[in-house]
Structure 1
Amino acid sequence: MSSFRQFRANLKKSGVARDQDQESSDPNVIHPRLLQSARQSGRLDLANRGLTLIPDSVYSLLDLSQRDTSKGSSLDGDGERWWETVDLTQLLLAHNSITQVDGRILNFDTLTVLDLSHNRLDSLPSEVGQLQQLRVVNLTGNQFTAVPDALFALPLQDLKLTDNQLTTIPEDRLLTWATSLVRLDLTRNQLTELPRDFGTLATLLDLRLAKNRLEYLPPNWWQCPKLENLDVSANKLRCLFLLPAGHDRADPPVRISFPRLKVIDAHGNALVGLFGQCVPTPVTVASQPLDIGHLQLDFPALVEFSVAYNRLTDLSPVTAHCPQLLTLDANSNKLTDLPVGLFRLRNISRLDISMNDLRVLPLRLGLLESLKVLLFAGNPLRLGSRGTNTESVLTLLRNRLPAEEAAGQLPDEPAVTEVVNVAWAGATESAPAATVPEQHEAATIAVVPAATAAESAPVAKSYPSTEPSPGEDTLISAPAATKSPTHVALPSLVDYVQPTVVPDGTAEPMTCSPVVPDDQQARLLALKLESLNLENLRVSDLVAVTYAPRQIDVSNNRLAALPVCLVTSYYQTLTSLDLSKNRLDQIPWWTASSALPALPALRQLSLSHNAIKAWPSLLPAADGDALPESLPLEALPYPNLDELNLSDCHLLETPAYSLRLLFPKLTVLLLRHCRIERIPNPTAFDGIIRLDLSDNNIAHLPPKLALNTALQALFVEGNSFRFPRYQIVQQGTHAILEYLRGRIPR
């Protein structure tokens, strides 16, 4: 008996060894025992086996005529039994190098799960469309440029096409998925738009469209009533909810309701407003304030809302209609105030409003007892004490809130919000027009905390038009530094920085109609000329402005430089100038020798979202000349500038000279979201109180940065340096500066 057992053991070993040798020599040969197991379990897992094709033995898996039954009467009695065979329902071929799927895939007509992720496929055979039992398809990490046509013939429940090269989804092909599709993942593709019938997906629960190139979502996507999770992060979206043409006249009113929606992740886009409207082409205004009180909004289940790293100025349309909200992330936007609806959220536990433009923290935040985490760093707040943690900050705010205000009723949420205008082929001429109101075509009322009627200033006296240069239709710019200067020439007291006055290059500048501001604008002493597609501005455009504005906003236009007329007309009173989102490639600069006055009253200058690549260049000097400690104020155009915003520009480094040379009174410098790679002169920020270098590409934080003793707020998050470590950076300015001081060579 012992010899018989030994014989049987040797026989089994030799058979296994022979099978293993054959399998190791050719990765496309599948071990028979693996196929046998698949026939018994209904699941064939061939993931990560180096396959370059689907072997014939797989296609013939259920073919009785091809099955090896030689072991059916073997001595050990382990042959297959036909009554133990089940239909194949799961075919897993992930992480191989398969380039093609054979039409014989139709042999598996009972297949419910097909995983072909991380292969080299760019198409599927039409036979796949006949697998009517198929419910789950994973094609992640392949080379598809379009959704395979065969998939539109299947009642799929779960489709993953992540990490492909999709550019579009064909129109009118989603009908088969309308009552079946539950999860759709199209993350990391190249999609620029979605089909207009996207709102027909009535059973969709989970939609993931992150890291594509979407500029807008179709007007009816919010008609997916069962949606629970939406991820549209890292796209180019300008709005979330695109309203159809004529939405203000719809009967019944437009209703946007998500009874099950729990998570919205829209961080890292270009959101200007949460709502947009379809308008006819051409679009003359990118966005405009609009009353959306006629809309019926409802987000009863929303618990997490992330819109970080956008350009939002208002969150009220959503916060007023999501009573269960737990987490609100509005980091790195342009919020100047918090919506009233936020103070009605009794369950909110995490609020991130860091890196915005908030001047004060509303005292009513102290009444949010459920709030556990409050992040507000990076705002130009003026607080005597900020507390050490969320609890202490809330206590501080609560103690400052008058009792009568705490017991009073909250005001109603304003119905007017910023709405983005989107050119849409289906929009008719009867749709709401995307034009500036006729009665004040060139300027709208700017909501700024300025003077009252009693403080209205006299009209600023314009410089005589007989000056030899510059003319009224010129633009001001300064040449950028190509190399970091180390010396400065001293030919005269007014020519330390090289100026250039560039005439406008257009035959007929695109200016607005003459500005006719109303009484309220005059009372506010503000002039708002944003989003008018201006290429230039002339003195003749301003003849009807009978007051001297203190705040001027010409953002979101097409200006290549600062219009001269704004300098010559309002140099005595101008305190705030917004040139963001234009086409400037240089910091506007001039000296007294250019016959232009300085701006002695200017305190705030915003040049963000321009193509500025370098700092103003100092004139070269002879060898041996040293940089002066200061320049005469009459040589500088901004002698009293307090805040300079250069965020989202193309700067590659910080200035190599001391900023006090050009901006002697500067205390706030914002360089967020630039392309800064190095800090050539770490002591250049003498006198700066608030310095924002976050979200750049700085590889090394020089220790001597701590020698700028005036620094009270330093932001360096989102860079590539390894030291100081993340834990230290998160502790704030004091910890960062202490770390850097400890590494300055003695």
Structure 2
Amino acid sequence: MAARGRRFGRPQPGFQAKKDEPAGVHASILKQARKSGQLNLSGRSLQTIPDTVWRINIDVPEEAKTVSMDADDKWWDQTDLTKLILASNLLTSISDDISNLPALSVLDVHDNQLESLPEALGGLENLQKLDVSRNKLKSIPSCIGKIQNLKSLHVENNQLDQLPEDLGNLLYLEDLDLSNNELTSLPCGIGGLSKILKLNVANNKLKSLPPEIATMNALRQIDANHNEISSLPAQLGTLTKLEQLYLRHNKLTVLPVLTDCISLKELHVGNNQISVMTAEHVSQLPAISVLDLRDNKLAKLPEEIAQLQALERLDVTNNDLPGLPYKLGTINTLKSIVVDGNPMKSIRRDIIMRGTQEIKKYLRSRIEEPTDGSGDSTTGVQSTEGQSGVIGGPKDGINAHEVCQFKSLDYSNKKCNHVPEEVWKVALEGEVTSINLSKNCFTELPEGVMLVSDHLKELNLGFNRLSSLHSDIGLYFKLTTLDLRNNQLTDLPSDMSSLKEMREIILSCNRLVKLPAVIFKFPKLEILFANDNKIESIDADGIKQLSCLATLDLQNNNIGQVPPELGLCKQIKSLQLSGNSFRIPRPAILAKGTNAILDFLKGRIAE
């Protein structure tokens, strides 16, 4: 504790203070430290610490040789040193004289060349933070266990191969970092750390975690990445407050069933050898938002993964997955699905390249209507009445509960040209953000869509009979995705220029002879599909205005010439131009991909 009022006798006549100033430490620095209680000597290339530092609150200071009558400059009335920073020097040891600083609450000696720590550390009863990281320590003395008030201990980046059992005596420790050492095991006594919040043991040689981890019931975060862990204790699942668990780059063959980890938000088990994930695993992860399963051997994900209604990121990169559960597309919170490096058979490559939202839309579209008339919870459409929440008849029924739960109305493949009023009422009450009206017989924009325009973000009108769109579509201000494929459109209304949030528009298989001018008014547009139309020319100046455009598909049109200026549109990452009548660029260049096409076109500008 800092204590003012430490008093010494006034210097007697004849008193001679030492004139030799300690190397690297100016007297004025020590004087200021006596006032503030803090001393920072980092980055001074010190090989040893001058005795004046250890005796800063004991010896009569240099300035005492001149007696000052200034009431504000009483050297004998000082603050005990509470914070000492000796980081980034060349220290090989710390003197036992550190015991002369009993008020220390912070000691930072990271980034030195320490090979040992003094036993005197055990006497610093007020020490709360100790940082000895980035040194050459091969062991931690048992005296560390005597520092009863220690809350933070950082020993990362040393050469430790074992830990003392006494470490478990640090009853108030909240943060323990042991990463980047040579540890092969953790002592059983570590279970005594009942108040610890963060445990970092990454980049060691651990084969397992001790069962005693169950008693560390305050843990919020465990980082055990980059070890040799092949199995985990069942007791790990009892940590009810655990929020983040990192187990990447280990030797796990089985994913742990975390029975009571009800607070777990992030589970990182990538780069292991896990081959199975079951419904039981999923059922124990009610709060999970990040699920990292990349670089494993998973051949299947359970359908129950759709129950993870807080899931925001799913990474299954480099597994053996041939497909994804269709219901995965119904998780509204899911913002990122990463599936690269899998032998996907049920999802086309072009869909995967378009990103998460396109994958989700595709998965939802594959949820089929049951044929046995009994209804199925895997679909967004119910085929029988008489069940709770079902609106409409056997052919046109929807499940009101699912519409509200997923904020999505799927009224596709009904072969109808009208949506019942009660269906729109359900959509309005559920504040739906996504509507699928594809594969019907609509000849114009259904009036009921206007009822839900305040929340609508995704609208699918593909595979209908639309020859034009009503100008009201310009009032759907939150719209980000619009699917108009397989209709009879020749243009789009200029009123759509108000759709400033539009990110994706699909105009494939219509009757366009040019790209609608209004498209160039969408500042956030990322994806544009206009393949299989009758487009005759490319408006390069218009496309250059779309600074976010990443995917442009103009395949199978009547384009007779590709303007060289298109080569300046470096924002485009995927450009598809095959199936047109132009001769330049040649097919050989088209086959080399987007970058080659753009470079070729840019080169023609100079010509």
| TM-score normalised according to structure 2 size | 0.57
- Following the alignment from structure 1 to structure 2, what is the Cα–Cα distance between the partners of residues 98 and 54? 8
Alignment correspondent of 2:259: 297
Asked if residue 227 in structure 1 is aligned to residue 219 in structure 2, the reply is: yes
TM superposition shift of 1:355: 0.9
Alignment correspondent of 1:88: 81
- 8 Å Cα contact 1:69/1:80 also seen in 2: no
Whichever residue aligns with residue 329 of structure 2, its letter is: G
Q: Which residue among 329, 332, 339 is the counterpart of 1:376?
A: 339
- 8 Å Cα contact 1:73/1:79 also seen in 2: no
- Following the alignment from structure 1 to structure 2, what is the Cα–Cα distance between the partners of residues 354 and 736? 25
- Following the alignment from structure 2 to structure 1, what is the Cα–Cα distance between the partners of residues 299 and 67? 79
- Of structures 1 and 2, the one with the larger relative CO (CA 8 A, separation 6+) is 1
Alignment correspondent of 2:277: 315
Are the structure 2 counterparts of residues 216 and 116 from structure 1 closer, same or farther at C-alpha, using a change threshold of 3 Å? Answer: same
- 8 Å Cα contact 2:188/2:212 also seen in 1: yes
- 8 Å Cα contact 1:161/1:185 also seen in 2: yes
Alignment correspondent of 2:12: none
- Following the alignment from structure 1 to structure 2, what is the Cα–Cα distance between the partners of residues 735 and 67? 81
TM superposition shift of 1:348: 0.8
TM superposition shift of 1:124: 1.4
TM superposition shift of 1:399: 1.2
- 8 Å Cα contact 1:192/1:214 also seen in 2: yes
Q: Which residue among 48, 52, 56 is the counterpart of 2:47?
A: 52
Q: Which residue among 248, 254, 258 is the counterpart of 1:267?
A: 248
- Following the alignment from structure 1 to structure 2, what is the Cα–Cα distance between the partners of residues 226 and 407? 45
Q: Which residue among 360, 365, 381 is the counterpart of 2:328?
A: 365
Asked if residue 389 in structure 1 is aligned to residue 355 in structure 2, the reply is: yes
TM superposition shift of 1:739: 4.0
| Aligned pairs for 1:140-155 within 5 A | 140-155=133-148
Specify the SS of the correspondent of 1:364.
helix
- 8 Å Cα contact 2:252/2:274 also seen in 1: yes
- Following the alignment from structure 1 to structure 2, what is the Cα–Cα distance between the partners of residues 271 and 739? 40
Are the structure 2 counterparts of residues 22 and 408 from structure 1 closer, same or farther at C-alpha, using a change threshold of 3 Å? Answer: farther
Alignment correspondent of 2:151: 157
Q: Which residue among 391, 402, 408 is the counterpart of 2:368?
A: 402
Whichever residue aligns with residue 282 of structure 2, its letter is: T
Are the structure 2 counterparts of residues 348 and 135 from structure 1 closer, same or farther at C-alpha, using a change threshold of 3 Å? Answer: same
Asked if residue 242 in structure 1 is aligned to residue 233 in structure 2, the reply is: yes
Q: Which residue among 88, 111, 115 is the counterpart of 1:122?
A: 115
- 8 Å Cα contact 2:144/2:166 also seen in 1: no
- Following the alignment from structure 1 to structure 2, what is the Cα–Cα distance between the partners of residues 191 and 365? 40
- Following the alignment from structure 1 to structure 2, what is the Cα–Cα distance between the partners of residues 298 and 185? 25
- 8 Å Cα contact 1:22/1:29 also seen in 2: no
Q: Which residue among 106, 112, 126 is the counterpart of 2:99?
A: 106
Specify the SS of the correspondent of 2:166.
coil
Alignment correspondent of 2:190: 198
- 8 Å Cα contact 2:214/2:236 also seen in 1: no
Specify the SS of the correspondent of 2:337.
strand
Are the structure 2 counterparts of residues 323 and 107 from structure 1 closer, same or farther at C-alpha, using a change threshold of 3 Å? Answer: same
Q: Kindly provide the CA deviation profile for residues 275-300 of structure 1, in whole angstroms up to 9, marking residues without a partner as x.
A: 4xxxxxxxxxxxxxxxx8xxx81112
TM superposition shift of 1:238: 1.2
| Aligned pairs for 1:498-517 within 5 A | none
Q: Kindly provide the CA deviation profile for residues 540-561 of structure 1, in whole angstroms up to 9, marking residues without a partner as x.
A: xxxxxxxxxxxxxxxxxxxxxx
TM superposition shift of 1:339: 3.0
- Following the alignment from structure 2 to structure 1, what is the Cα–Cα distance between the partners of residues 377 and 310? 19
- Following the alignment from structure 1 to structure 2, what is the Cα–Cα distance between the partners of residues 735 and 272? 41
Are the structure 2 counterparts of residues 55 and 315 from structure 1 closer, same or farther at C-alpha, using a change threshold of 3 Å? Answer: farther
TM superposition shift of 1:340: 4.2
| Aligned pairs for 1:540-689 within 5 A | none
| Aligned pairs for 1:387-466 within 5 A | 388-404=354-370, 408-409=376-377
Specify the SS of the correspondent of 1:65.
coil
Asked if residue 338 in structure 1 is aligned to residue 301 in structure 2, the reply is: yes
**Unmatched tracts of structure 1, length 5 or more:** 1-18, 244-253, 276-291, 411-726
Specify the SS of the correspondent of 2:65.
coil
| TM-score normalised according to structure 1 size | 0.46
Alignment correspondent of 1:13: none
Q: Kindly provide the CA deviation profile for residues 86-122 of structure 1, in whole angstroms up to 9, marking residues without a partner as x.
A: 1111111000001111111110011111101011111
Are the structure 2 counterparts of residues 157 and 395 from structure 1 closer, same or farther at C-alpha, using a change threshold of 3 Å? Answer: same
Are the structure 2 counterparts of residues 299 and 123 from structure 1 closer, same or farther at C-alpha, using a change threshold of 3 Å? Answer: same
Whichever residue aligns with residue 271 of structure 1, its letter is: L
TM superposition shift of 1:166: 0.5
Are the structure 2 counterparts of residues 728 and 71 from structure 1 closer, same or farther at C-alpha, using a change threshold of 3 Å? Answer: farther
- 8 Å Cα contact 1:259/1:298 also seen in 2: yes
Whichever residue aligns with residue 85 of structure 2, its letter is: L
Q: Kindly provide the CA deviation profile for residues 293-324 of structure 1, in whole angstroms up to 9, marking residues without a partner as x.
A: xxx81112111111111111123454321211
Specify the SS of the correspondent of 2:291.
strand
Alignment correspondent of 2:60: 65
Q: Kindly provide the CA deviation profile for residues 1-36 of structure 1, in whole angstroms up to 9, marking residues without a partner as x.
A: xxxxxxxxxxxxxxxxxx9x987xx7x341111101
- 8 Å Cα contact 1:72/1:80 also seen in 2: no
TM superposition shift of 1:338: 1.0
Are the structure 2 counterparts of residues 731 and 38 from structure 1 closer, same or farther at C-alpha, using a change threshold of 3 Å? Answer: farther
Q: Which residue among 192, 198, 202 is the counterpart of 1:210?
A: 202
**Unmatched tracts of structure 2, length 5 or more:** 1-17, 379-569, 577-589, 601-607
Whichever residue aligns with residue 213 of structure 2, its letter is: W
Are the structure 2 counterparts of residues 399 and 743 from structure 1 closer, same or farther at C-alpha, using a change threshold of 3 Å? Answer: closer
- 8 Å Cα contact 1:158/1:182 also seen in 2: yes
Whichever residue aligns with residue 54 of structure 1, its letter is: I
Q: Which runs of 4+ in 1 moved over 6 A?
A: 727-736, 740-744
Q: Kindly provide the CA deviation profile for residues 488-545 of structure 1, in whole angstroms up to 9, marking residues without a partner as x.
A: xxxxxxxxxxxxxxxxxxxxxxxxxxxxxxxxxxxxxxxxxxxxxxxxxxxxxxxxxx
- 8 Å Cα contact 2:303/2:327 also seen in 1: no
In the alignment of these two chains, the number of paired residues is 374
Alignment correspondent of 1:347: 310
TM superposition shift of 1:740: 6.8
